[in-house]
């Protein structure tokens, strides 16, 4: 039984704090697409090309980390009943530094060289450090303890490790390390970023979001309890083991990848057992994302053995196919929901003060389903084009770039539309 | 003095929240709302407090029952808690 006391949503941050991050993210996708349009086949041919590294960081830091920061600021108070401390200050500090740091890094990889890389790494670190401290404080003060919370905490630690490894890499590119060490550091940086920061955060979010929003059965308790800590512990072991026995790299990652594949397969299985069978765009995105993660695991040994196009396919399946599909699906749900929810708060205050209701738009009016569907089609086309790119790199890399610009441009414009609808509805309250 | 029944347990988010909020203005003096939900609707509570409502929730493995009445309506509160 519960009464008036449970008001965790009252602790939610002001709307502009998550929106600052969420609204900025699609435009980094547009930049990534524009970069592919400009450089063509370069990133496809060699993952060590500056253009490939710039592209990867525009997507991982720009689209992914920016969105994850926004979603975490919003989600944490609801999940743990404690607000992110000094959230306005953290958002106002982290956002510009993360944006500027990502742009500087991308430019450093493309043409700017070491000074821009150092500036980019410093900006990113300085921007994300207070964010991580604030998240850590909120998690430490949490009034509840559950598996999602633990997964989110481990994801934050993984982000810190990823950033440190990235900073070591930037120092290494300045000539302080051997090429073999740089290759190993890059592998560790990528693994902690994708499997640790992104994978663990997705796991924590999935335990909550999939059963709630997709009306599936719950994930099995054993999976919720052990998967995230197990994945994290395995990643921790990769640090000393791969350093002491470099020959084991990258095969030492196999158990962690199998853990992620297990989660993906389980999610697909749960989604087949959902109790309501109506079409749902977020569900389509999640199905695509989980299927791509499974395919990435199948491709991974081939990429590790043979390199070449297999590495491009692996990266495409893992990042735009897997992680960014899941993210797009969530963003298309979160942004209109938050706007609608804040309008409902105004509505309730209006009801209490004046006794009547004002007509406010439904979520689907704020972000029409047709707009979301077009975004989905463009995302799907971009993904298919990216997968086909090794067949005709010169042409298809640019086609993929154009489609990425269109898909993320539409997402960014859809969010602006949501904001305009929100502002217009808010005007009715005077 | 009426009880308004609302079963949102088969609806997808965020329809349950929309249905409950639509039903609130219909609560007259002495009326209360009984909602059946498959989960505890935590986001609802902040909205209820904002709108000047009070609530009582009980959850078990089959789902949750939430009873809602206007703050200060002693008759409705008594009826809701006694039901």
Per-residue pLDDT of chain B (83 residues; tens, 9 = 90+): 689 999 999 888 888 998 999 899 889 899 999 999 988 888 888 889 989 999 999 998 889 999 999 999 999 999 999 88
| B40, closest residue in chain A (CA to CA) | A2
Q: Do A9 and B42 touch (CB under 8 A)?
A: yes
Q: Which of A140, A149, A133, A275 is nearest to A207 (CA)?
A: A149
**Interface contact A344-B40, CB threshold 8 A:** no
Average pLDDT across chain A, whole number: 89
pLDDT digits (tens, 9 = 90+) for A238-255: 888 888 888 888 888 889
pLDDT, one tens digit per residue, over A179-204 is 778 888 888 998 999 899 989 988 98
Interface predicted TM-score (ipTM) of this complex, two decimals: 0.87
Please indicate, yes or no, if residue A1 is contained in any of the structural domains.
Answer: no
Buried/exposed A29-40: b ≥16 CB within 10 Å, e otherwise:
bbbbbbbbbebb
* Local confidence band at A401 (pLDDT 50, 70, 90 cut-offs): very high
Query: Which of B14, B39, B43 has the CB atom closest to A9's CB atom?
Result: B43
Size of interface A-B (CB pairs under 8 A): 73
**Is residue A37 within 8 Å of A402, Cβ to Cβ?**
yes
Q: Give the A-side interface with B, CB within 8 Å.
A: 1-4, 6-10, 12, 78, 212-213, 215, 275-276, 278, 280, 337, 340-341, 344-345, 347-349, 351-352, 356-357, 362-363
Q: Is residue A352 part of a domain?
A: no
CB contact under 8 A, B51 and A10: no
Distances (CA, A) of A242 to A162, A188, A251, A415: 16, 9, 10, 43
CATH code at A301? Answer: 1.20.210.10
Q: What confidence score (pLDDT) does residue A26 get?
A: 97
Q: Any idea which architecture B3-82 has in CATH?
A: 2-Layer Sandwich (3.30)
User: How far is CA A331 from each of CA A68, A253, A324, A355, A362, rounded to the nearest angstrom?
Assistant: 10, 29, 10, 34, 17
**Domain ranges across chain B:** 3-82
Task: State how far the Cα of A8 lies from the Cα of B44, in Å rounded to an integer.
Answer: 10
Q: Do A1 and B58 touch (CB under 8 A)?
A: yes
Task: Determine the Cα–Cα distance for residues A227 and A400; give it in Å rounded to an integer.
Answer: 35
Whole domain around residue A191: which residue ranges?
Answer: 9-341+361-422
pTM of the model: 0.90
Tell me which chain A residue has its CA closest to the CA of residue B60: A1
Domain-located, residue A349: no
Residue A7 has pLDDT above 80, yes or no: no
d(CA A189, CA B70) in angstroms, rounded, equals 55
- What is the C-alpha to C-alpha distance for residues A205 and A229, in angstroms, rounded to an integer? 15
Q: Per the domain annotation, does A129 fall within a domain?
A: yes
Q: Hey, are the CB atoms on A337 and B47 less than 8 Å from each other?
A: no
**Which is nearest to A339 in space by CA: A369, A361, A368, A370?**
A361
Q: How far is it, in rounded angstroms, from Cα A182 to Cα A161?
A: 16
**Searching chain B, which residue's CA lies closest to the CA of residue A334?**
B14
What percent helix, strand, coil does chain B show, rounded to 5? 35, 35, 30
Find, in chain A, the residue whose alpha carbon is nearest to that of B18. Answer: A362
Nearest CA to A25 among A116, A98, A108, A104? A98
Q: At what angle do helices A147-171 and A66-80 cross, to 10 degrees?
A: 150
Residue A9 pLDDT exceeds 70? no
- Confirm if A122 and A108 have CB atoms less than 8 A apart: no
pLDDT at A300: 86
Inform me whether the pLDDT recorded for A3 exceeds 50.
no
β-pairing, B63-70 vs B32-37, is: antiparallel
d(CA A343, CA B60): 31
Query: Is position A33 within any domain?
Result: yes
**A64-101 confidence digits (pLDDT tens):** 999 999 988 888 877 777 788 999 999 999 999 999 99
Nearest-by-Cβ selection for A212 from B39, B52, B54: B39
Q: Is position A337 within any domain?
A: yes
Whole-number Cα distances in Å, A232 to A135, A222, A239: 18, 16, 11
The tens digit of pLDDT for each residue in A17-64 reads 999 999 999 999 999 999 999 998 877 777 788 899 999 999 999 999
A253: exposed, middle or buried (Cβ count in 10 Å: 0-12, 13-18, 19+)? buried
- Indicate if the alpha-carbon torsion angle A15, A18, A24, A29 is positive or negative: negative
Of A8, A213, A344, the CB nearest to B21: A344
Number of domains making up chain A: 1
Distance from CA of B6 to the nearest CA of A (A): 19
Residues of A in Cβ contact (< 8 Å) with B43: 9, 78, 341
Q: Is residue A346 part of a domain?
A: no
């Amino acid at each position: 039984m519960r009464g008036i006391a449970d008001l965790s949503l009252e602790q939610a941050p002001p709307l502009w704090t998550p929106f600052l991050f969420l609204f900025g993210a699609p435009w980094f996708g547009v930049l990534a697409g524009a970069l592919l349009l400009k450089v063509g086949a370069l990133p496809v041919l060699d993952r060590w090309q500056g253009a490939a590294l710039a592209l990867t960081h525009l997507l991982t830091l720009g689209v992914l980390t920016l969105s994850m920061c926004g979603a975490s600021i919003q989600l944490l108070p609801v999940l743990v009943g404690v607000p992110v401390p000094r959230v306005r200050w953290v958002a106002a500090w982290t956002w510009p530094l993360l944006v500027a740091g990502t742009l500087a890094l991308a430019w450093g990889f493309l043409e700017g060289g070491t000074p821009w890389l150092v500036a980019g790494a410093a900006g990113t670190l300085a921007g994300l450090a207070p964010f991580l401290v604030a998240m850590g404080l909120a998690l430490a003060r949490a009034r509840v303890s559950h598996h999602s919370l633990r997964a989110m905490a481990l994801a934050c630690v993984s982000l810190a490790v990823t950033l440190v490894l990235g900073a070591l890499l930037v120092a290494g590119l300045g000539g302080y390390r051997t090429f073999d060490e740089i290759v190993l550091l890059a592998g560790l940086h990528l693994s902690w970023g994708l499997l640790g920061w992104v994978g663990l955060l997705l796991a924590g979010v999935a335990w909550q979001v999939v059963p709630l929003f997709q009306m599936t059965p719950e994930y099995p308790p054993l999976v919720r309890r052990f998967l995230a800590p197990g994945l994290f512990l395995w990643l921790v072991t990769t640090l000393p083991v791969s350093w002491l026995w470099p020959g084991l790299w990258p095969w030492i990652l196999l158990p962690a990848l199998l853990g992620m594949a297990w989660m993906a397969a389980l999610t697909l299985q749960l989604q087949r057992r959902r109790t309501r069978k109506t079409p749902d765009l977020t569900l389509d995105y999640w199905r695509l994302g989980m299927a791509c993660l499974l395919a990435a695991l199948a491709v991974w040994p081939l990429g590790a053995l043979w390199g070449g196009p297999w590495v491009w396919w692996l990266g495409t399946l893992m990042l735009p196919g897997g992680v960014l599909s899941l993210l797009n699906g969530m963003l298309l749900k979160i942004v209109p929901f938050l706007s609608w929810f804040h309008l409902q708060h105004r509505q309730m205050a209006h009801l209490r003060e004046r006794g009547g209701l004002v007509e406010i738009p439904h979520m689907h009016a704020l972000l029409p389903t047709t707009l979301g569907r077009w975004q989905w089609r463009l995302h799907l086309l971009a993904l298919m084009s990216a997968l086909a790119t090794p067949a005709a790199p010169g042409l298809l890399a640019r086609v993929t770039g154009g489609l990425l610009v269109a898909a993320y441009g539409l997402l960014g414009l859809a969010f602006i539309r949501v904001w305009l609808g929100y502002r217009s509805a808010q005007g009715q309250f005077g | 003095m009426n009880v308004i029944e609302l079963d949102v347990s088969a609806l997808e988010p965020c329809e349950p929240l929309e249905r409950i909020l639509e039903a609130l203005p219909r609560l007259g003096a002495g009326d209360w709302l009984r909602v059946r939900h498959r989960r505890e609707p935590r986001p609802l509570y902040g909205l209820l407090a904002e709108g000047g409502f009070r609530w009582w929730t009980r959850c078990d493995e089959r789902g949750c029952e939430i009873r809602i009445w206007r703050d200060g309506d002693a008759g409705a509160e008594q009826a809701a808690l006694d039901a």
